[in-house]
Amino acid sequence: MRLKLLSVVFFVTEPIVNDKKKTYAMSNLKGRNLISITDFSKEEYIQVLDIAEEFEKNPKQPILSDKVVATLFFEPSTRTRLSFESAANQLGARIIGFSDPGGTSVQKGESLHDTIVMVSSYSDLIVMRNPKEGSSRYASEVASVPVINAGDGANQHPTQCMLDLYSIRKTQGTLENLNIAMVGDLKYGRTVHSLVQAMCNFNATFHLVSPVELKLPSSVKMSVKNANLKYYQYTDLAEVIPFADIIYMTRVQRERFPDPLEYERVKDSCILTAKMLQGCKPNMRVLHPLPRVNEIATDVDKTPYAYYFQQAQNGVYVRQALMAAILGVR
C-alpha cells in the first residue's frame, strides 16, 4: 500500500510591533540612510519611536558588539555627538571618528568625497555633522555604508526631529491634532525645518513666532500648505502661550548670520520667563533643542512645563533605535 505525501503549507504571521519580544517587520530600515526627515514615512517614524520606548526601558544591550560606528563632526556639538556615542557604547558598538576636523587630513585639503570613501571602509555606519547644506546627502551618495545626518548647516537635523517627536508623544500622549508653537530662529533653525515637515503628518496647527527677519522659509511653509494644514505667524510670544500644547523654543544662532549687526538686532526678540506661563495649558511642555543662551530664563527650569533636559536624554534612546534599525538588529 502506497502512502501519498501531502504538501503542507505553514503560514507564519509577522510579529506585532508592540509585542514584548519584538522583531520589527513593519518596514525594513536595514541599510537605509537618514538625511532628511522626509526620507522616512509616518509609519516609520512610529516604528522608530516604538523601538526607542523599548530602549528606554532597557538601554544597555550588547546587540551592536560586532559593529563599528564612525562619528564625523566637522562642526561643534555636545548633545548630538555625546548622545550618539553614548547610545552606541550602551549597545556595545565600537566608535571611531573625530569632533574637530582640525586634527584630520581635511586640514591638508582632503575632499569630503575622499574622507567618506575612506571612512566607509573602516565602519558599518557613518554619523556626520557638517556646516555645508547638502553635505550629508552627498556623503550618502558616495558612501558604501549607511549615513545618518547629524545636522547639515541650516538645512536638516532629522535625528533631533525624531527625539522631538518622541518627547512630544511622551508628554502629550499623542502626536495628532496638536497646537505647536515654534519660537525664535525659524529661518536658520534646522531643527524647526525638520519638525514642521514631520508634524505635517499628524494634522498639527503651527504657530510661528519670530522677528520678521527670521520667519520660516517659504520652502518649509510649502510643506504645511501641501498637507492642507494651517499656520499662523506672530512676533509676540505671549499671544500663543494660552493655547499651545508644545512651545518649541530655539536660540538665535549667531554663527548662521552673515551680518553681525542683523544678529544684534534680533538676538533678544523672543525670551520666555516663568511668569509668562501663567494661564498656559496644564499639559503644555516647553521644548528646546539646546544649547540655550538667554531665550529661556532659568526660572522656567523649576516649573512643571520645562522638559528640555529630559528631551535631550530621550536622544539616547531614539538614536539607539535608529542605529539598531539601520544596522538590521531591530
Map grid coordinates 532628511 to a residue: 36
- In order along its 330 residues, the chain shows pLDDT tens digits of 444 433 333 333 344 444 333 443 456 899 999 999 999 999 999 999 999 999 999 999 999 999 999 999 998 889 999 999 999 999 999 999 999 888 888 888 899 999 999 999 999 999 999 989 999 999 999 999 999 999 887 778 899 999 999 999 999 999 999 999 999 999 888 899 999 999 999 999 999 999 888 899 999 999 999 999 999 999 999 999 999 999 999 988 766 667 777 766 777 788 999 999 999 999 999 999 998 989 999 999 999 999 999 999 999 999 999 999 999 998
Within the chain, which residue ranges are assigned CATH 3.40.50.1370?
37-156+314-326, 158-313
Active-site entry in 157, 169, 190, 251: 157
Q: Please report the pLDDT score of residue 76 as a whole number.
A: 86
Beta pairing, strands 68-73 & 125-130: parallel
Q: How far is CA 198 from CA 44, 164, 230, 245, in A?
A: 11, 10, 14, 16
**158-313: CATH homologous superfamily?**
Aspartate/ornithine carbamoyltransferase (3.40.50.1370)
Global pTM value? 0.87
Active-site entry in 81, 129, 190, 288: 129
Residue 217, classed as helix, strand or coil, is: coil
Q: Please report the pLDDT score of residue 120 as a whole number.
A: 97
Annotated catalytic residue 129: yes
Annotated catalytic residue 157: yes
Cis check: omega of the bond before 260, within 30 degrees of 0:
no
Which of 314, 315, 323, 274 is CA-nearest to residue 296? 274
Annotated catalytic residue 80: yes
Distance, in Å, from the CA atom of 163 to the CA atom of 158, rounded to the nearest integer, reads 9
CATH no., domain 37-156+314-326 = 3.40.50.1370
Annotated catalytic residue 254: no
Active-site entry in 22, 30, 38, 79: 79
